[in-house]
Structures are given as C-alpha cells and as structure tokens.
Structure 1
C-alpha cells in the first residue's frame, strides 16, 4: 500500500476500511452490540432508581430528626421523678436510641447516591462510544495512524478497522471503576434493613395492654408517651425507610445485569486464516498427431498432421486465495 512506500491517500485508505466495516454484519448485528445497547437502557433506569435512593435517603434523615425530637421530648416529659427507672421503659428507650443510631448511620447515603448519579452520564457515554466504534467506521485520522504505525501487517490485523478493538480494553476498566461507586450505596443496604427490622419490633409492642405501666398515674403517663413515640416511628420514619430499602434493591437488581461491576473484561481480537479449494474436472483442448497415407502412381506416400480435440482434465485440486475470518472475543472473569 502506498502508505508504506510513500504518501498515504487518506480518503482512499478510509474508504477501504469503511467498506469492510459497513459490510461486517456479523459484527454490527452481534450479541456484543445488543449487550451494549441493553446497558444504555439499564443506565437510564439506573438513573431513575438512584435518584429514588437519594430522595428517600434524604427524607429518612429529615424524618429521623422529627422522631429523635419526639423521643427526647417525651422522655423529658414522662420520665420525671425516676418514672422510667423500671426495666420496661428503660429497655424501650434503649431500643429507640439504638434504632435512631442505626438510621443515623445512613446519613452518608444521599452523598453516595449523588456521586453515583454523577457517574451515570460517563458510563452511558463510554457505552455509546463502544457501540459507535463497533458499528460505524472510524475517521480518517484513526486509519492513517494504524498505517503510519505499521499496525496493519497482515490480513489478521484488518479487524483493527473496528475502532472498538483499540477502545474497549481501557473503556471496560473505566466503566468498572465507575460502577464501583455504587458500592457506596450498597454498603449501607444492610444497615437500612437492620433499622427497618428494629422499627417493626418497636411497632409490634402493644403498650395499651401493658399491665406494669397501667398500675399508677406516672406509669400510665410513661405508657402513653411510649405509644406517642411508637406512633412517630410508624407515621414519620417507617414509610420513607421502607421506600429506601425498595430503591436500594431496585438499584442492585439493575447492577447485577452489568457484569463489569464485579468482574473484569477479557477481550481479544484478531483473524483466523482458512484455505478453500475445489476439485476441478473439465474438457480442455489437446493436440493429437494423425498420419494419412495414400498411393500416387504406385508409390506409397504419407504425411503427419496435428489435430485439436477435446480431452478430459482432472479431477485435480485447485486452491483459492487464502482467506481470513476476523474475530472479537470477550468474556467476564
């Protein structure tokens, strides 16, 4: 090619590779491209679900302040004169404190969700680029660089016409790092479930039927205060926390469909050569010598001449030009 002997004709070089890419239906319409298109759709849904996580986690922390204030105000009001020294109210307030502390440990979720949301456009763009570089020809500069750097040395190298072969390895590493930021959300999922379980335990207590706290006026005041606190946990905190847990699960259900989050990509490209031939058998022209004799004046005479006839040729093996099948292989390990 002229690139190796003189000046490259850029438009012709690109036209050559573009024709190859545009006619490679097995690559353009492949499972690989379908997977990437699925990821783009998943990232759009992921954006919505991560926004839900951010919204509900903020709501949980805001409502937690309401519940915490309720607990403190009730305790200050009903626990005067050692009214809460008994094990029943004391254990109840310990339960409230531990539950509030667990919910408070989720205060990093809004920030984690924000960081993850900021990465989704980058994840989408990386994936869209991979689709583009697999299904459409690259620009002239890309192909000229391949030629100038002697990266096309045999038919096996022609697969580099697909820019994705040069783009994907690093892109996959970048995408893996970006999806890793969602671990900041996942790391809080266990605490959210623990808090929800604790709230359900708080709500399961029937203080109205507690005989111990129904004996005295001060006891009944404590009892009513605990019922008031219980109502605050139910009305103010349980709903947003349950919604946060559902949003967390929705995010995880999406991410599990993106293998790069927990695995790395192994990618190979190249070409496999193969030979073709045919067994030929056909009539071909051949010459045959004939002799004709005669007698002139009692003297014999003859002459030899050549005659063209059809002869059978073959069967014989006729090789075709060696071909190369380009390939791109990938797996998640």
Structure 2
C-alpha cells in the first residue's frame, strides 16, 4: 500500500461568519448570525494498493514425491536419491576423463588412476547401500577363458576395483619414491595367492603330459639301449654258430647246391649283418638319456613351484625399474610364467639328438625286424624238392642244422630286434606328438576385459512448471511453481572401469597321435 493525495469535494471546506434572514411569525424581519460552510475541493491522503504480494507456503518435497509415486515407490526413490542423483552422475562424469580411460582400457597404474579406483569404489559402495544393481558382461568373455583343445587356459583372479586399488597404490607410492617392501609384497601376494589356486590345475595338466611323454621316451631309450647291447654282445656268438651251421650244411652235407637252402642261408646272413649295424646307436643315445633324467627332475620341481611367490626384493626392484606399470605386467610376478618356456626350450634341445637317431635307425631296424619275423627255413625251402635225397639220415642231419639256424635267429635276433624296432617307432610317435619338439608349443600371456555398469530405469518423480497470473486493483503478477507426477525415465547407463582378467594360453600337448597307434 502507498499514500496518495486524492482531490475530494468537501461540503464544508471552510467556514465564515455570516448573517441571514431567519423570520418568524412574530418577527418577520428577524436575522440570524453564525458560521456557515463554504464548499470546495481539497486534497486528502488515501491508502491505495501499490502491488500484488502472493502468499506461499512451504511443502515437504518428500511428501510431494510420495504423492506422485505412491508411498511404496516414493519411499524407494527417496532412499535411492543420493545414489541416483549424486553417485550416478559422478560415475557418468568420471567415464569422460582421461585417467578413467587409462585405467579402464590400458590398465595403467599411476597416481591419477589410483584416485579413479578410490572414487569409483566409493560410488560402488554408494550403490550398494541402496541395492542398486551392478551388472556385468563377463559371460561374453567366457569362451575366451575356456580351454579348448589344443589350448589350455590358466586364468588368474579378476583384477577388479579393489585389487586394482591395492596394486596401484603401492606402484604410485614407489613412483613417488616411497618404497615399502612389506606393503608391496602384501599387495602382490594377496593377488597371487588366489590366482595361483586358479592357475595351478590347468598348468599342472600340461606339465603332467610333459612328464608322461618324457617318462615314456626315457623308457623307450632304455629299451633300445638294452636291445642294442644284446645285439652287440650276441653278434660274435651268433656269427660263429651260424658259420658253423653253414659250413656243415654246405661242406659236410653238400646241400648248398639247390635254390632254397642257399637263399635261406643268405637271408639269415643278411639279418645278422643288419642287426650288427644297429647296435652303434648306443653312443648317440647316451647324451639324451642322461639329460632326460635331469629334465624329469626339473619337471617334478616345477610342478611343486607353480604357486611359488617372487622374492620381495625382486618385486621392489622391478617396480623401481618401471617394469610394472600396467595390468598386463602382472605376469612378471609369476615365476612359473618364465620357467615353462625355458623348460620347453631345454627339452627341445635335449631331445633333438633323438630325432637324428630316428632318421638314421628307425627304418633299418624296422626292415630288419620285419625280415626276421617271418624268417624260417620252412618258409623258404620246399621239402618236396630239397629234402628228397636217397639218405633219410642226411635229410635228418640237414633239418637238424636248419632248425639250429632257426633257433639261433629266435634266440639272438627276434626279440631284441622287436624291442629295438618297437622302441624306435614309439619314440618317433612320442616325439612327433610332443609340442615342444614338433614346434607347436606356444605360450601367451593375455588380458581380457569385461564391462560393469548400472542402469537406471525406474518410475521417478518428474516435475513440470505451472504458471498463474494474479490480478487485483489494476495490478497483475505471475507466479510459477512445480508440480510432480510419475514418469518412466528412458534407461540411462553409467559404466565402471573395466575389470581385467589376466590369463595364460598354453598350447603344449604331448602324447602319441591316435592316428599313429
């Protein structure tokens, strides 16, 4: 309100002394005197409206939300408001920063990415308080982490936010010059312990195959050596006995002028000499034979050391040298990862001489064994044509000598050549099926990632602006306020940094190919 001067007609603006006729019956000439009013305009103060004031009252926002959504949904939204309006938005903003990308995509460990881990962990806890679900697509990388022949997958523990935070903190501290061996060892070993538990079975399955292959190869080397020793030690006796029988047959009995007997004796002579050319394998076999024992011992120790931790001093040294900067460097802390390729290289070197031996001796031993297997005078000499002398006694003497030669072949050649030849065949098959020998061995260290996110898609209180114009006494004023109503928000997603999963791929089979059996 304000005061204004308003022109007003006043019937008695002023007064003056005046006389006027006021006759009566008794006094017709009577006059009266007195004060009379003189009318006129004058300005008077008056209160008039100057504006419009709109009176408002406060309302409880939570009550308005409950009124819009209903009590159940309203309470749920109010409880989640901080997570939805605060934490969710923070996570969306984080995802646009360079440090978030460095952590999520490249797995870099720096002071900046450590802060990202700290902040996103607090957001994760914020979501957890209101049970806001956090989803992931780990199922999409399941096939990558699945062992499918010929590859064996050894998966380490997932490096999630908490693991990353723990590792990144010690790395960042070291980068700042604060080296604490105990903190470093605790952070790394806390990750390696569950990782080794996961990785041990698949890695051991590969080493068990290698152990079996080396053991079988060692046994075949032993069989071949023993057979070669027998052939070497039997040669002189066998040659002497054969020459004696041949002399009796050809000179004393005069029965070498036919076709069957000379052919049989020549065949026996050939297999004796063929066997004599096989025993020198003993020298070349000595070196790989000695090394096989060493490799088997190393294999046993390596299987025990799968879960071996690196020394604390080694951890500090690697971090000081800047070798551990990102998640993919985690394999530097796994001694088993370095030792498997080293052992594979040693095994290949040690078994290489056996491949040369097989090239030189496998075919001759196989031919000698095949020629001996069916070698018998009864398969070469026809009794009807060569055992028809006039003297039954002479025929009996010939048969006795021929049987002696057959027995000589059986006693001195057959079993040893069979062991020798079989040993070569099996050893060849083992070597061809052994990945570290045939060149198919491979070992790769890799990291696969999967996403984690939360999506908001719920009934929420939406608001709209209401406006009304108030008019009074020539004045008007508009006033706006918000009203709330239930609405379905289009799904909105915010992503956490990716979870990294280190794993090892090993193509390291061993064993005889079924096609060779």
TM-score by length of 1: 0.76
- Determine if contact 1:126/1:175 at 8 Å carries over to the other structure: no
Match of 1:193 in 2: 366
RMSD of aligned Cα (Å): 4.0
Match of 1:277 in 2: 453
Cα deviation code 1:169-192 (max 9, x no counterpart)? 333222222233332553423222
Cα deviation code 1:253-298 (max 9, x no counterpart)? 55455322212422221323443211247999xxxxxxxxxxxxxx
- Cα separation, partners in 2 of 1:200 and 1:216, compared to 1, 3 Å: farther
State the SS of the aligned residue for 1:135.
Answer: coil
Aligned equivalent of 1:72, options 230, 233, 243: 243
State the SS of the aligned residue for 1:202.
Answer: coil
In the TM superposition, residue 60 of structure 1 has moved relative to its aligned partner by 2.7
Aligned equivalent of 1:215, options 389, 392, 397: 389
- Cα separation, partners in 2 of 1:278 and 1:204, compared to 1, 3 Å: farther
Match of 1:287 in 2: none
- Cα separation, partners in 2 of 1:21 and 1:146, compared to 1, 3 Å: same
Distance 1:149 1:179 in 2: 37
Match of 1:51 in 2: 222
Segments of 5+ residues of structure 1 without an aligned counterpart are 285-308
In the TM superposition, residue 224 of structure 1 has moved relative to its aligned partner by 4.3
Match of 2:442 in 1: 266
Match of 1:137 in 2: 309
My pick for the range that moved more, 176-185 or 128-137, is: 128-137
State the SS of the aligned residue for 1:269.
Answer: strand
Distance 1:98 1:141 in 2: 67
State the SS of the aligned residue for 1:324.
Answer: strand
Rg (Cα) greater in structure: 2
- Cα separation, partners in 2 of 1:38 and 1:164, compared to 1, 3 Å: same
Is the counterpart of residue 94 in structure 1 residue 266 in structure 2?
Answer: yes
Match of 1:146 in 2: 318
Distance 1:246 1:283 in 2: 77
Distance 2:373 2:200 in 1: 53
- Determine if contact 1:157/1:270 at 8 Å carries over to the other structure: no
Aligned equivalent of 1:106, options 268, 272, 278: 278
Match of 1:202 in 2: 375
- Cα separation, partners in 2 of 1:59 and 1:141, compared to 1, 3 Å: farther
Match of 2:327 in 1: 155
In the TM superposition, residue 316 of structure 1 has moved relative to its aligned partner by 4.1
In the TM superposition, residue 141 of structure 1 has moved relative to its aligned partner by 4.1
State the SS of the aligned residue for 1:268.
Answer: strand
Match of 2:102 in 1: none
State the SS of the aligned residue for 1:156.
Answer: helix
Distance 2:275 2:366 in 1: 10
State the SS of the aligned residue for 1:150.
Answer: coil
Distance 2:304 2:447 in 1: 21
Cα deviation code 1:284-325 (max 9, x no counterpart)? 9xxxxxxxxxxxxxxxxxxxxxxxx9x999764333233221
Match of 1:164 in 2: 336
Match of 1:321 in 2: 497
Distance 2:218 2:390 in 1: 55
Aligned residues: 316
- Cα separation, partners in 2 of 1:22 and 1:79, compared to 1, 3 Å: same
In the TM superposition, residue 236 of structure 1 has moved relative to its aligned partner by 2.7
In the TM superposition, residue 95 of structure 1 has moved relative to its aligned partner by 1.6
